[in-house]
Structure 1
Amino acid sequence: MDWDKLRIFHAVADAGSLTHAGDTLHLSQSAVSRQIRALEESLSTTLFHRHARGLILTEQGELLFEATRAMNKRLDAASARIRDSEEEVYGELRVTTATGFGTLWLAPRLHLLYEKYPELKIDLMLEERVLDLPMREADVAIRMKEPSQADLIRKRLMNIRMRLFATQKYLDQNGTPKSVEDLAKHRLICQNPNSAQVSAGAQLVQELTEVSIPSTLYVNNYFGVLQAVLHDLGVGVLPDYLTESSPELVRVLPEIESGEVPVFLAYPEELRHSKRIAVFRDFVTEQISEHRRQMRDGA
């Protein structure tokens, strides 16, 4: 199959337009159209439905687009690996992690990484969905469980626990709970136990909601839970690493906490020698060590 025609097909499928694809490829619309027709003839199939608003992929076109998208990702990765060197850190690094951890722990520290490597390009993808690293949906992941995908290098970073927190203002106005049963007099702020989250956190929330709590606020990530707690809305279930960056938080019912939640950093085996991966891994490891020191000093 002619790679040049595949490259043009990919651009058209991505843009949904012969004209826009031509602009990207610096080709005329007629040249792009000829290449697409030639590709369809070689495959004996129709790749696009053509209508006034643009082009829509056929079922066969969707299959081919999925293949060219995977090929492009691997070519991009190969290009970045080739340009990685011992002397410099070059190119884009796609990092994925959960919304709460990425927003509250990782993003506030990234300025320290950019100070060392100002030309590094980071694409930080915050979502609860676990991206497929072997299929190159991301280069490196930080997750609250050990990755199950094959062909990954894994590094355990730390353990965290989910605990109960509120602001002093809220406690002054509503009283400090002395037992789990006292939570019936308070609003509980947490993730829905049925939402995508770490199992230890979901189990703790499940246990807490067995108490008859009249008012709850469910948020689908810990950033939202933290904002609600900081605005004095109630008692929140939050990861313990937030106490470092949010001194306004007061721990409630200190005998109650979740089981340990492991935090793992993972990346594909094929990126083992990537300089970008190495500097990011070392940066996160250093920040974890500093985090532990501050947690010890504050204990």
Structure 2
Amino acid sequence: MDWDKLRIFHAVADAGSLTHAGETLHLSQSAVSRQIRALEDSLGSTLFHRHARGLILTEQGELLFDATTAMSKRLEAAVARIRDSVEEVFGELRVTTTTGFGSLWLAKRLPILYERYPELRIDLMLSEQVLDLPMREADVAIRMKEPSQADLIRLRLMSVRMQLYSVQSYLDEHGTPASLDDLATHRLICQNTSTAQVSAGARLVQELLAHPIRSTLTVNNYFGVLQAVLNGLGIGVLPDYVTEDHPQLVRVLPAIESNEVPVFLAYPEELRASRRIAAFREFITEQITEKRQREKDTSGL
């Protein structure tokens, strides 16, 4: 198989246009077209449907594009490993984690990492979707459960529990509940149980909503829940890691909390020697260690 023709095919399939692919490859449209025709002839299959607005992959083209996409990601990983083995920490690092953890805990600590490695470029992807690390959809992940794939290096960072919080101004006006039955006179702020989230959080919300509650506000992420709580709208279900950065939060009904949620750092085995991964891993573990020490110091007061 001619690797150069596959490279050109991949660029055309990605761009959906001979012209745009040619601009990316620094080739003329006619040169790109000739290479695609030659590849189709060698395979004995049509790879593109031509129409006025561009090109659409045929079924055979889709199969080949899946293969070239996988090849491209593997090559990117190989290049990253080679560069990381000889260079300082710089370049792009794609980090995926949940919207809540990324926006409420990780993002505000990233200045420390950038101060150490100013040439690092982080692409922070916040989503409840579990991205495929071996397929290089991301370089490193912080996940709220242990990864199931065998070809990942994983490190348990800490545990999280969902708990009930409010602010003192709200409690002064509406009273502090002493039992679950007392929630009937309060507004509960939480994620909808159908929203993508850790199962332990959804189960706690289901248990709370089984009691008669006067008013609710559901938000599709913990950032929105936190903002509503901080603005005195009610009592919210939040992960316990938010309390360190928001000391104005007041724990409500301390006996009520979710099951433990493990937090894992994970990255592909092939990036074991990556300096960028090592820098991020060290940064995260330092931050977690310091968090635990602060909690220990506080509890000892």
- Given the two structures, how large is their TM-score scaled by the length of structure 1? 0.96
Q: Equivalent residue of 1:237, what SS?
A: strand
Distance 1:54 1:298 in 2: 63
Amino acid in the other structure paired with 1:46: T
Q: Report the counterpart of residue 96 of structure 1 in structure 2.
A: 96
Q: Report the counterpart of residue 155 of structure 1 in structure 2.
A: 155
1:33-182 counterparts in 2 under 5 A? 33-85=33-85, 88-182=88-182
Q: Report the counterpart of residue 291 of structure 2 in structure 1.
A: 291
CA contact (8 A) 1:155 1:264 kept: yes
CA contact (8 A) 1:163 1:258 kept: yes
1:210-225 counterparts in 2 under 5 A? 210-225=210-225
Q: Equivalent residue of 1:56, what SS?
A: strand
Distance 2:103 2:44 in 1: 49
Are 1:250 and 2:250 an aligned pair?
yes
Percent identity over the alignment is 78
Distance 1:21 1:298 in 2: 59
CA contact (8 A) 1:83 1:90 kept: no
Deviation at 1:261, TM superposition (A): 1.0
CA contact (8 A) 1:80 1:90 kept: no
Deviation at 1:86, TM superposition (A): 6.0
Are 1:262 and 2:262 an aligned pair?
yes
Deviation at 1:214, TM superposition (A): 3.0
Distance 1:63 1:233 in 2: 52
Amino acid in the other structure paired with 1:286: E
Distance 1:121 1:228 in 2: 32
Distance 2:228 2:63 in 1: 44
Q: Equivalent residue of 2:156, what SS?
A: strand
Deviation at 1:87, TM superposition (A): 5.6
Distance 2:61 2:213 in 1: 53
CA contact (8 A) 1:160 1:261 kept: yes
Deviation at 1:294, TM superposition (A): 2.3
Q: Equivalent residue of 1:69, what SS?
A: helix
Deviation at 1:174, TM superposition (A): 2.0
CA contact (8 A) 1:80 1:91 kept: no
Amino acid in the other structure paired with 1:117: Y
Per-residue CA deviations over 1:62-117 (Å, capped at 9, x if unaligned) read 22111111111111111111011366113321111101101111111111111111
**CA separation of 1:282 and 1:86: change in aligned 2, threshold 3 A:** farther
Moved more, 195-204 or 180-189: 195-204
Q: Equivalent residue of 1:84, what SS?
A: helix
Amino acid in the other structure paired with 2:132: D
Q: Report the counterpart of residue 199 of structure 1 in structure 2.
A: 199
**CA separation of 1:122 and 1:30: change in aligned 2, threshold 3 A:** same
Deviation at 1:298, TM superposition (A): 3.4
Amino acid in the other structure paired with 1:208: L
Moved more, 273-282 or 225-234: 225-234
Q: Equivalent residue of 1:92, what SS?
A: strand
1:12-23 counterparts in 2 under 5 A? 12-23=12-23
Q: Report the counterpart of residue 3 of structure 1 in structure 2.
A: 3
Q: Report the counterpart of residue 240 of structure 2 in structure 1.
A: 240
CA RMSD of aligned residues (A): 1.4
Structure 2: gaps spanning 5 or more residues: none
Amino acid in the other structure paired with 1:78: A
Are 1:271 and 2:271 an aligned pair?
yes
Distance 1:23 1:248 in 2: 55
Structure 1: gaps spanning 5 or more residues: none
Q: Report the counterpart of residue 281 of structure 2 in structure 1.
A: 281
CA contact (8 A) 2:155 2:265 kept: yes
Distance 2:114 2:86 in 1: 18
Q: Equivalent residue of 1:164, what SS?
A: strand
Per-residue CA deviations over 1:233-269 (Å, capped at 9, x if unaligned) read 2111001110011122111111211121110001111
Q: Equivalent residue of 2:213, what SS?
A: coil
Amino acid in the other structure paired with 1:158: M
